[in-house]
Amino acid sequence: MNRIHWLAPAVIVLALLIVAANTFYVVKQTQQAIVLRLGDPVRVVNATPDDGPGLKIKAPFAERVVKLDKLILNFEPPEAEVTGRDQNRLIVDAFVRYRINNPLLFYRGLNNQKNAEDRLGSMVSSALREQLGSVTVDDIINARRAELMTRTRDELAKRAKASNFGIQIIDLRIKRADYPQANTDAVYQRMKTARQQQAAQYRAEGRQQALQIVGEANKEGEKIRGDADAQRAKIFADSFGQDPSFAAFYRSMSAYEASLGPDSTLVLSPDSDFFKYFRGGPTAGGGGK
Protein backbone atom coordinates (compact mmCIF):
# COMPACT_ATOMS: atom_id res chain seq x y z
CA MET A 1 0.00 0.00 0.00
CA ASN A 2 2.86 2.40 0.85
CA ARG A 3 4.49 1.59 -2.48
CA ILE A 4 1.32 2.58 -4.36
CA HIS A 5 1.14 5.90 -2.51
CA TRP A 6 4.78 6.59 -3.43
CA LEU A 7 4.50 5.45 -7.08
CA ALA A 8 1.50 7.60 -8.03
CA PRO A 9 3.17 10.98 -7.34
CA ALA A 10 6.32 9.82 -9.15
CA VAL A 11 4.30 8.92 -12.24
CA ILE A 12 2.54 12.28 -12.15
CA VAL A 13 5.86 14.17 -11.83
CA LEU A 14 7.37 12.17 -14.71
CA ALA A 15 4.33 12.87 -16.86
CA LEU A 16 4.59 16.60 -16.12
CA LEU A 17 8.29 16.58 -17.02
CA ILE A 18 7.57 14.86 -20.33
CA VAL A 19 4.77 17.33 -21.10
CA ALA A 20 7.03 20.26 -20.14
CA ALA A 21 9.86 18.94 -22.30
CA ASN A 22 7.46 18.84 -25.26
CA THR A 23 5.95 22.23 -24.48
CA PHE A 24 8.88 24.53 -23.79
CA TYR A 25 11.86 25.15 -26.07
CA VAL A 26 14.66 27.72 -26.35
CA VAL A 27 15.57 29.72 -29.45
CA LYS A 28 19.04 31.29 -29.35
CA GLN A 29 19.93 34.74 -30.66
CA THR A 30 21.70 33.16 -33.63
CA GLN A 31 18.76 30.92 -34.53
CA GLN A 32 15.34 31.13 -36.05
CA ALA A 33 12.75 28.39 -35.71
CA ILE A 34 9.78 27.01 -37.60
CA VAL A 35 6.95 25.40 -35.64
CA LEU A 36 5.38 22.46 -37.45
CA ARG A 37 1.92 21.17 -36.62
CA LEU A 38 1.43 17.65 -37.86
CA GLY A 39 4.24 18.29 -40.39
CA ASP A 40 2.92 21.62 -41.73
CA PRO A 41 4.72 24.88 -40.86
CA VAL A 42 2.42 27.19 -38.93
CA ARG A 43 4.64 29.97 -37.56
CA VAL A 44 8.19 31.30 -37.43
CA VAL A 45 10.08 32.30 -34.27
CA ASN A 46 12.84 34.97 -34.06
CA ALA A 47 12.65 35.82 -37.75
CA THR A 48 11.68 39.46 -37.07
CA PRO A 49 12.58 41.96 -34.31
CA ASP A 50 9.01 41.73 -32.97
CA ASP A 51 9.48 38.08 -32.06
CA GLY A 52 12.83 37.70 -30.33
CA PRO A 53 14.77 34.72 -28.99
CA GLY A 54 14.32 33.07 -25.60
CA LEU A 55 12.03 30.51 -23.96
CA LYS A 56 9.05 29.61 -26.16
CA ILE A 57 5.92 27.46 -25.88
CA LYS A 58 4.38 25.06 -28.35
CA ALA A 59 1.51 22.59 -28.23
CA PRO A 60 2.96 19.40 -26.72
CA PHE A 61 3.20 16.35 -28.97
CA ALA A 62 1.15 18.00 -31.76
CA GLU A 63 3.82 20.53 -32.69
CA ARG A 64 7.50 20.11 -33.59
CA VAL A 65 10.28 22.73 -33.86
CA VAL A 66 12.87 22.98 -36.66
CA LYS A 67 15.74 25.38 -35.94
CA LEU A 68 17.68 27.18 -38.66
CA ASP A 69 20.76 29.43 -38.62
CA LYS A 70 20.10 33.15 -38.59
CA LEU A 71 23.76 34.06 -39.19
CA ILE A 72 25.43 34.60 -42.56
CA LEU A 73 26.53 31.18 -43.81
CA ASN A 74 29.62 30.32 -45.85
CA PHE A 75 29.43 27.81 -48.67
CA GLU A 76 32.17 26.49 -50.97
CA PRO A 77 30.58 24.94 -54.07
CA PRO A 78 32.41 22.31 -56.14
CA GLU A 79 34.95 23.59 -58.67
CA ALA A 80 33.41 24.68 -61.97
CA GLU A 81 35.04 24.29 -65.38
CA VAL A 82 34.53 27.40 -67.50
CA THR A 83 35.38 27.90 -71.18
CA GLY A 84 36.24 31.51 -71.99
CA ARG A 85 35.47 33.41 -75.16
CA ASP A 86 38.96 32.54 -76.44
CA GLN A 87 38.11 28.82 -76.06
CA ASN A 88 40.58 28.34 -73.22
CA ARG A 89 39.34 26.35 -70.24
CA LEU A 90 39.69 27.31 -66.60
CA ILE A 91 38.94 25.56 -63.32
CA VAL A 92 37.22 28.15 -61.11
CA ASP A 93 37.02 27.77 -57.34
CA ALA A 94 34.59 30.18 -55.62
CA PHE A 95 32.90 30.63 -52.28
CA VAL A 96 29.50 32.14 -51.43
CA ARG A 97 28.11 33.89 -48.36
CA TYR A 98 24.34 33.70 -47.91
CA ARG A 99 21.63 33.75 -45.28
CA ILE A 100 18.15 32.35 -44.84
CA ASN A 101 15.90 35.41 -45.02
CA ASN A 102 12.57 33.59 -45.25
CA PRO A 103 12.46 30.45 -43.11
CA LEU A 104 9.02 29.33 -44.33
CA LEU A 105 9.99 29.49 -48.01
CA PHE A 106 13.29 27.83 -47.19
CA TYR A 107 11.67 24.93 -45.36
CA ARG A 108 8.93 24.40 -47.94
CA GLY A 109 11.29 24.57 -50.90
CA LEU A 110 14.48 22.99 -49.56
CA ASN A 111 13.73 21.51 -46.13
CA ASN A 112 17.31 21.64 -44.84
CA GLN A 113 20.72 23.27 -45.34
CA LYS A 114 22.23 20.34 -47.28
CA ASN A 115 19.52 20.50 -49.93
CA ALA A 116 19.89 24.27 -50.03
CA GLU A 117 23.62 24.08 -50.73
CA ASP A 118 23.13 21.40 -53.39
CA ARG A 119 20.76 23.73 -55.27
CA LEU A 120 22.97 26.72 -54.58
CA GLY A 121 25.99 24.88 -56.01
CA SER A 122 24.13 24.34 -59.29
CA MET A 123 23.16 27.99 -59.45
CA VAL A 124 26.74 29.12 -58.76
CA SER A 125 28.13 26.88 -61.50
CA SER A 126 25.53 28.15 -64.00
CA ALA A 127 26.14 31.81 -63.10
CA LEU A 128 29.93 31.39 -63.42
CA ARG A 129 29.64 29.79 -66.85
CA GLU A 130 27.27 32.49 -68.08
CA GLN A 131 29.31 35.46 -66.87
CA LEU A 132 32.84 34.13 -67.40
CA GLY A 133 32.10 32.40 -70.68
CA SER A 134 31.66 35.75 -72.42
CA VAL A 135 35.18 37.03 -71.68
CA THR A 136 38.76 35.89 -72.22
CA VAL A 137 40.86 33.96 -69.75
CA ASP A 138 43.10 37.00 -69.26
CA ASP A 139 40.03 39.02 -68.21
CA ILE A 140 39.13 36.37 -65.64
CA ILE A 141 42.61 36.01 -64.19
CA ASN A 142 43.85 39.59 -64.30
CA ALA A 143 42.19 42.45 -66.12
CA ARG A 144 38.52 42.28 -65.04
CA ARG A 145 38.48 39.89 -62.12
CA ALA A 146 36.76 42.24 -59.62
CA GLU A 147 34.15 43.34 -62.15
CA LEU A 148 33.38 39.75 -63.11
CA MET A 149 32.97 38.70 -59.47
CA THR A 150 30.45 41.51 -58.96
CA ARG A 151 28.54 40.56 -62.09
CA THR A 152 28.47 36.90 -61.09
CA ARG A 153 27.31 37.76 -57.58
CA ASP A 154 24.48 39.90 -58.94
CA GLU A 155 23.44 37.16 -61.35
CA LEU A 156 23.46 34.57 -58.57
CA ALA A 157 21.43 36.87 -56.28
CA LYS A 158 18.86 37.34 -59.03
CA ARG A 159 18.56 33.59 -59.58
CA ALA A 160 18.29 32.88 -55.85
CA LYS A 161 15.51 35.46 -55.48
CA ALA A 162 13.64 34.14 -58.49
CA SER A 163 13.79 30.59 -57.09
CA ASN A 164 11.70 31.59 -54.02
CA PHE A 165 13.81 29.40 -51.74
CA GLY A 166 14.08 32.04 -49.03
CA ILE A 167 17.83 32.56 -49.60
CA GLN A 168 19.60 35.92 -49.85
CA ILE A 169 23.02 36.06 -51.50
CA ILE A 170 25.42 38.31 -49.58
CA ASP A 171 28.63 37.87 -51.55
CA LEU A 172 30.51 35.72 -54.05
CA ARG A 173 34.27 35.55 -54.45
CA ILE A 174 36.52 33.73 -56.90
CA LYS A 175 39.32 32.19 -54.84
CA ARG A 176 41.23 30.57 -57.67
CA ALA A 177 41.10 30.37 -61.45
CA ASP A 178 43.64 27.97 -62.97
CA TYR A 179 44.12 26.03 -66.14
CA PRO A 180 43.28 22.32 -65.99
CA GLN A 181 46.35 20.16 -65.39
CA ALA A 182 46.64 19.12 -69.05
CA ASN A 183 46.44 22.76 -70.16
CA THR A 184 48.90 23.80 -67.45
CA ASP A 185 51.46 21.30 -68.76
CA ALA A 186 50.95 22.51 -72.33
CA VAL A 187 51.28 26.17 -71.32
CA TYR A 188 54.43 25.38 -69.32
CA GLN A 189 55.92 23.55 -72.30
CA ARG A 190 55.13 26.50 -74.61
CA MET A 191 56.71 28.91 -72.14
CA LYS A 192 59.77 26.67 -71.83
CA THR A 193 60.12 26.44 -75.62
CA ALA A 194 59.75 30.21 -75.99
CA ARG A 195 62.43 30.83 -73.35
CA GLN A 196 64.77 28.32 -74.99
CA GLN A 197 64.32 30.05 -78.36
CA GLN A 198 64.96 33.43 -76.77
CA ALA A 199 68.08 32.10 -75.03
CA ALA A 200 69.34 30.63 -78.34
CA GLN A 201 68.79 33.99 -80.01
CA TYR A 202 70.71 35.78 -77.25
CA ARG A 203 73.58 33.28 -77.58
CA ALA A 204 73.69 33.72 -81.36
CA GLU A 205 73.72 37.50 -81.02
CA GLY A 206 76.46 37.19 -78.38
CA ARG A 207 78.58 35.00 -80.65
CA GLN A 208 78.13 37.46 -83.51
CA GLN A 209 79.15 40.38 -81.33
CA ALA A 210 82.13 38.39 -80.02
CA LEU A 211 83.28 37.67 -83.60
CA GLN A 212 82.95 41.35 -84.49
CA ILE A 213 84.91 42.40 -81.41
CA VAL A 214 87.64 39.80 -82.06
CA GLY A 215 87.79 40.77 -85.74
CA GLU A 216 88.14 44.45 -84.90
CA ALA A 217 90.76 43.63 -82.26
CA ASN A 218 92.74 41.51 -84.73
CA LYS A 219 92.50 44.25 -87.32
CA GLU A 220 93.68 46.83 -84.83
CA GLY A 221 96.45 44.48 -83.65
CA GLU A 222 97.65 43.90 -87.21
CA LYS A 223 97.68 47.65 -87.79
CA ILE A 224 99.67 48.23 -84.60
CA ARG A 225 102.10 45.42 -85.46
CA GLY A 226 102.46 46.81 -88.96
CA ASP A 227 103.19 50.26 -87.61
CA ALA A 228 105.67 48.78 -85.12
CA ASP A 229 107.41 46.74 -87.82
CA ALA A 230 107.66 49.82 -90.03
CA GLN A 231 109.04 51.84 -87.15
CA ARG A 232 111.51 49.07 -86.30
CA ALA A 233 112.59 48.78 -89.90
CA LYS A 234 113.12 52.51 -90.05
CA ILE A 235 115.16 52.44 -86.82
CA PHE A 236 117.21 49.52 -88.14
CA ALA A 237 117.72 51.24 -91.46
CA ASP A 238 118.88 54.40 -89.78
CA SER A 239 121.16 52.44 -87.47
CA PHE A 240 122.57 50.30 -90.27
CA GLY A 241 123.37 53.41 -92.32
CA GLN A 242 125.31 54.93 -89.46
CA ASP A 243 127.32 51.79 -88.52
CA PRO A 244 127.52 49.02 -91.16
CA SER A 245 129.62 46.76 -88.89
CA PHE A 246 126.95 46.88 -86.18
CA ALA A 247 124.29 46.07 -88.76
CA ALA A 248 126.23 42.99 -89.86
CA PHE A 249 126.72 41.96 -86.24
CA TYR A 250 122.98 42.37 -85.48
CA ARG A 251 122.01 40.28 -88.50
CA SER A 252 124.36 37.54 -87.41
CA MET A 253 122.98 37.58 -83.84
CA SER A 254 119.45 37.29 -85.23
CA ALA A 255 120.59 34.35 -87.35
CA TYR A 256 122.18 32.68 -84.30
CA GLU A 257 118.95 33.16 -82.34
CA ALA A 258 116.83 31.67 -85.08
CA SER A 259 119.19 28.76 -85.83
CA LEU A 260 120.65 27.68 -82.54
CA GLY A 261 118.47 26.01 -79.97
CA PRO A 262 118.47 23.12 -77.47
CA ASP A 263 117.79 20.60 -80.24
CA SER A 264 119.60 22.31 -83.10
CA THR A 265 122.31 20.49 -85.06
CA LEU A 266 124.53 22.33 -87.55
CA VAL A 267 127.19 20.70 -89.67
CA LEU A 268 129.54 23.51 -90.75
CA SER A 269 133.22 24.09 -91.20
CA PRO A 270 134.87 25.83 -88.23
CA ASP A 271 136.22 28.39 -90.67
CA SER A 272 132.70 29.28 -91.86
CA ASP A 273 131.79 32.95 -91.82
CA PHE A 274 128.72 31.93 -89.78
CA PHE A 275 130.95 31.64 -86.70
CA LYS A 276 133.21 34.64 -87.27
CA TYR A 277 131.64 36.61 -84.41
CA PHE A 278 132.26 33.68 -82.04
CA ARG A 279 135.94 33.94 -82.96
CA GLY A 280 136.44 37.67 -82.83
CA GLY A 281 133.39 39.37 -81.22
CA PRO A 282 131.63 42.40 -82.68
CA THR A 283 134.86 43.65 -84.28
CA ALA A 284 135.31 40.43 -86.23
CA GLY A 285 133.14 41.75 -89.00
CA GLY A 286 135.20 44.83 -89.45
CA GLY A 287 136.87 45.12 -92.79
CA GLY A 288 134.94 42.14 -94.01
CA LYS A 289 137.16 39.66 -92.21
**DSSP codes of every residue in the chain:** -HHHHHHHHHHHHHHHHHHHHTTEEEE-TTEEEEEEETTEEEEEESSSTTS-SEEEE--TTTEEEEEEE-SPEEE-PPPEEEE-TTS-EEEEEEEEEEEES-HHHHHHHT-SHHHHHHHHHHHHHHHHHHHHTTS-HHIIIIITHHHHHHHHHHHHHHHHHHHTSSEEEEEEEEEEEE--HHHHHHHHHHHHHHHHHHHHHHHHHHHHHHHHHHHHHHHHHHHHHHHHHHHHHHHHHHHHHH-HHHHHHHHHHHHHHHH--TT------TT-GGGHHHHHGGGGGGGG-
Q: Does residue 168 surpass a pLDDT of 80?
A: yes
% of the chain at pLDDT higher than 70: 77
Q: Does residue 72 surpass a pLDDT of 80?
A: yes
Give residue 155's pLDDT: 93
245-260, pLDDT tens digit by residue? 666 666 766 766 666 6
Residue 100 pLDDT level (bands cut at 50, 70, 90) = very high
More confident residue, 189 or 35: 35
Q: Does residue 104 surpass a pLDDT of 80?
A: yes
Q: Does residue 286 surpass a pLDDT of 60?
A: no
Instruction: Parse the chain into domains and list their residue ranges.
Output: 2-69, 73-179, 188-242, 244-253+270-289
Confirm or reject CATH 1.10.3720.10 for domain 73-179, answering yes or no. no
Give residue 260's pLDDT: 63
**Over residues 207-227, mean pLDDT:** 86
**Over residues 60-67, mean pLDDT:** 88
% of the chain at pLDDT higher than 90: 23
Give residue 131's pLDDT: 87
Q: Does residue 123 surpass a pLDDT of 90?
A: yes
Give residue 35's pLDDT: 92
Q: Does residue 282 surpass a pLDDT of 70?
A: no
Cβ contact 63:95 at 8 Å: no
Residue 210 pLDDT level (bands cut at 50, 70, 90) = confident
**Over residues 179-196, mean pLDDT:** 70
More confident residue, 245 or 128: 128
**Over residues 66-74, mean pLDDT:** 92
**Over residues 33-58, mean pLDDT:** 85
Q: Does residue 37 surpass a pLDDT of 60?
A: yes
Cβ contact 94:129 at 8 Å: no
DSSP string of 206-266, one letter each residue: HHHHHHHHHHHHHHHHHHHHHHHHHHHHHHHHHHHHH-HHHHHHHHHHHHHHHH--TT---
- The overall average pLDDT reported for the chain is 80
Give residue 280's pLDDT: 56
**Over residues 172-184, mean pLDDT:** 75
Is the whole model's pTM more than 0.75, yes or no? no
Residue 289 pLDDT level (bands cut at 50, 70, 90) = very low
Give residue 198's pLDDT: 86
**Over residues 21-29, mean pLDDT:** 85
How many CB atoms are located within 10 Å of the residue 127 CB?
25
Termini Cα distance of the chain: 170
How does strand 31-37 pair with strand 80-83? unpaired
Give residue 216's pLDDT: 86
